[in-house]
């Protein structure tokens, strides 16, 4: 069976160790089922934004709302051309690649496996190492890259599994620095990276090495980040796994066709000769994966995408950890798109659009929770004569798409916890955009490392572009202002956003109820306002977990 249905589970986190994807899970992304997800997505977009413009144009005092609605609409207008030019992965072509370029023990190219870690729980490391040790490949060296410098990890890697072990004298640039250090001390023709929680299938290299052999201009072959949903997980884990299904099942396939695949670091195979041009990975303190992929494409290499889940990992198990992860991911877009290097790169229009559109997506996501309640609230207080109950039918496709269509489309257990987590994501994106605007980004901290504070600050361990061997490149956030680098600062931002969410949602709801009550006493028909009140209740329900659950 594929992942179990989500359960509403707000228990404290408990470790649920992953196992590699089954055969059924491996091939679960081959049919993107684009028609329903795009049809209802476009229907929701058109109806919701029609309602926004009907409100904005209903009275001169609401014209300003149109400017904010336009910001949200720009993302969809940029992204849908990418979506509708895509098509499903050609699996028959891939099978031909496996047949014509298969590797045998006699002609296997050498491969290094990099397993970076930084103070994660030993049970997670041991679980991952167990499955990595079972990879069906002979010409292989496996390296544990320990930024935690723990003797117990060295013993686990060397004594129990026979892996190579590396630690470095500093922790410059976080994970990117760790990988760059290992790159200069290994020599395999290819190298693969697995984050500490990802458990690969035995046939991982048998599936991806032939792609490298066929496409000699491929610098990276990326496979999905896959997360299984189970009843034993926390509500955050259950919600986070299905959130990445659309990007890895559909969006990455579209981007691959346009020559703009996003590298996400883990579960990928890299060509050493190509990565020499950036000394292993791009020199940046966080999100080095996407910057590395972009640098390869800019230099004329390909980043190929193979939509076969070949490794399964774990999602953040608490809302605060998930929030911090989303803040960091959101920070990638502006640090890439706002660089001169991005606009000087020799990219086709549609390639460039694949990086520009997500930036507008983050802006739209951050604005949405603030725009949602305003039309009903302002109409109830200032123009109640314009309110008609049937107008609110225009928001139904959006709610239907979120609660019904996505659940039916998903093969990863999409449910109410994913809807709850969307609220966390929106406020995380707001935080990230605020950090970028005011220079308060917290830097990179390994998810398992509660002690990484000072070293997470790129400012405290900055290096020059020249020292990195990249004089002609932009090196964003090296030496940038990153004053709030500690875990306590990240927790403070998270709690501030929970408070903001509570004040905004409950404040606007109370104000709406008061406005409706006032207008009813003035003789306006009560039933005209019922749909607006139901939308407010929906928003209270949608944000409940973010505000009240751990």
- pLDDT interval class at 16 (50, 70, 90): confident
* CB distance 345 to 298 below 8 Å: yes
Alpha carbons 107 and 110: distance in angstroms, whole number: 9
> What is the pLDDT at residue 464?
33
Per-residue model confidence as pLDDT tens digits over 187-203: 999 999 999 999 999 99
**Residue 536 clears pLDDT 60, i.e. is over it:** yes
Q: Whole-angstrom Cα distance, residue 73 to residue 486?
A: 36
Q: What average pLDDT does this structure show over 96-106?
A: 94
> What domains does the chain contain, in order, with CATH numbers?
33-84+355-443+475-548 (no CATH), 91-310 (3.90.550.10)
Residue 163 above 90 pLDDT? Answer: yes
Confidence at residue 14, expressed as pLDDT on a 0 to 100 scale: 58
Q: Tell me which residue has tokens 């003035």.
A: 522
Least confident of 27-41, 143-157, 429-443: 429-443
Residue 288 pLDDT exceeds 50: yes
Helix then strand then coil, in percent of the chain rounded to 5, is 55, 5, 35
Q: Kindly state the percentage of the chain with pLDDT values over 90.
A: 78
Q: Report the alpha-carbon distance of residue 308 to residue 310 in Å, rounded.
A: 6
pLDDT at 429: 96
Q: Give yes or no for residue 226 having a pLDDT over 50.
A: yes
pLDDT of residue 448: 52
The predicted pLDDT at position 473 comes to 41
* Total residue count of the chain as it appears in this document: 550
User: So what's the pLDDT on residue 245?
Assistant: 96
What dihedral do alpha carbons 180, 182, 183, 185 form, nearest 10°? 130
Alpha-carbon distance of 163 to 519, in angstroms, equals 72
Q: Which residue has the higher pLDDT, 485 or 158?
A: 158
Mean pLDDT, the chain, as a whole number?
A: 89
Q: How does pLDDT run across 445-487, given as a tens digit for each residue? A: 555 554 443 333 333 333 333 333 333 343 333 333 433 445 7
pLDDT of residue 470: 39
* pLDDT (0 to 100) of residue 50: 95
Identify the band that residue 442 occupies on the pLDDT scale cut at 50, 70 and 90.
Answer: low
Higher pLDDT: 14 or 354? It is 354
C-alpha 240: how far from chain center: 9
Please write the tens of the pLDDT for every residue from 387-409: 999 988 999 999 999 999 999 99
**Which pTM value belongs to this model?**
0.88
- Of 237-241, 286-290, 346-350, the poorest mean pLDDT is in 286-290
**H or E stretch including 269?**
strand 268-271
The pLDDT of residue 332 is above 60: yes
Give the pLDDT confidence score for residue 215 in this predicted structure. 98
CB atoms closer than 10 angstroms to residue 91? 13
Query: pLDDT at residue 20 above 70?
Result: yes
Residue 131 clears pLDDT 60, i.e. is over it:
yes
Task: Give yes or no for residue 3 having a pLDDT over 60.
Answer: no
**pLDDT score, position 481:** 40
pLDDT at residue number 483: 38
pLDDT band at 49 (very low <50, low <70, confident <90, very high): very high
Whole-angstrom Cα distance, residue 410 to residue 426?
21
């Amino acid at each position: 069976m594929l992942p179990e249905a989500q359960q509403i589970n707000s228990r404290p986190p408990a470790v649920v160790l992953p196992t590699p994807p089954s055969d059924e899970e491996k091939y679960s992304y081959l049919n993107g089922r684009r028609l329903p997800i795009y049809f209802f997505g476009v229907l929701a977009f058109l109806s919701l934004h029609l309602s926004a413009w009907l409100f904005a144009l209903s009275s001169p005092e609401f014209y300003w709302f149109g400017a904010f609605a336009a910001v949200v609409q720009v993302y969809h207008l940029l992204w849908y051309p990418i979506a509708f030019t895509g098509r499903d992965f050609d699996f028959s072509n891939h099978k031909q690649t496996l047949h014509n370029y298969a590797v045998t023990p006699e002609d296997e190219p050498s491969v290094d496996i990099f397993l970076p870690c930084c103070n994660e729980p030993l049970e997670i490391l041991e679980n991952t190492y167990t499955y990595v040790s079972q990879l069906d490949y002979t010409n292989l060296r496996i390296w544990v890259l320990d930024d935690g410098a723990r003797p117990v990890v060295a013993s686990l890697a060397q004594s129990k599994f026979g892996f190579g072990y590396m630690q470095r004298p500093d922790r410059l640039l976080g994970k990117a620095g760790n990988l760059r250090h290992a790159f200069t001390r290994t020599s395999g023709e290819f190298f693969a990276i697995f984050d500490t929680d990802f458990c690969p299938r035995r046939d991982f290299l048998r599936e991806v090495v032939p792609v490298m052999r066929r496409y000699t201009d491929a610098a990276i072959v990326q496979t999905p980040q896959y997360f299984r949903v189970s009843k034993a997980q926390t509500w955050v884990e259950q919600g986070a796994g299905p959130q990445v299904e659309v990007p890895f099942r559909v969006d990455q396939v579209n981007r691959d066709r346009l020559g703009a695949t996003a590298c996400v670091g883990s579960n990928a195979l890299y060509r050493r000769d190509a990565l020499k041009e950036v000394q292993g990975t791009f020199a940046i303190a966080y999100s080095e994966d996407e910057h590395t992929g972009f640098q390869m494409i800019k230099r004329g290499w390909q980043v190929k995408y193979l939509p076969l889940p070949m490794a399964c990992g774990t999602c953040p198990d608490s809302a605060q950890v998930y929030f911090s992860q989303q803040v960091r991911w959101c920070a990638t877009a502006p640090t890439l798109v706002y660089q001169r290097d991005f606009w000087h790169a020799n990219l086709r229009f549609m390639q460039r659009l694949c990086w520009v559109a997500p930036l507008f997506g983050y802006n739209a996501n951050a604005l949405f929770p603030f725009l949602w309640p305003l039309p009903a609230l302002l109409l109830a207080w200032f123009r109640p004569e314009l309110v008609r109950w049937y107008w609110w039918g225009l928001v139904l496709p959006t709610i239907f798409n979120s609660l019904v269509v996505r659940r039916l489309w998903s093969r990863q257990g999409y449910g109410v916890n994913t809807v709850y987590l969307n609220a966390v994501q929106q406020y995380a994106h707001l935080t990230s955009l605020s950090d970028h605007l005011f220079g308060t980004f917290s830097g990179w901290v390994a998810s398992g490392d509660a002690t990484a504070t000072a070293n997470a600050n790129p400012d405290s361990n900055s290096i020059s572009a020249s020292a990195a061997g990249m004089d002609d490149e932009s090196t964003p956030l090296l030496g940038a202002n990153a004053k709030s680098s500690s875990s306590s600062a990240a927790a403070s931002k998270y709690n501030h956003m929970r408070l903001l969410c509570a004040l905004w949602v409950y404040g606007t709801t109370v104000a709406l109820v008061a406005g409706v009550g006032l207008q009813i006493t003035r003789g306006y028909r009560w039933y005209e306002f019922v749909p607006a009140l139901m939308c407010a209740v929906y928003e209270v329900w949608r944000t409940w977990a973010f505000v009240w659950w751990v």
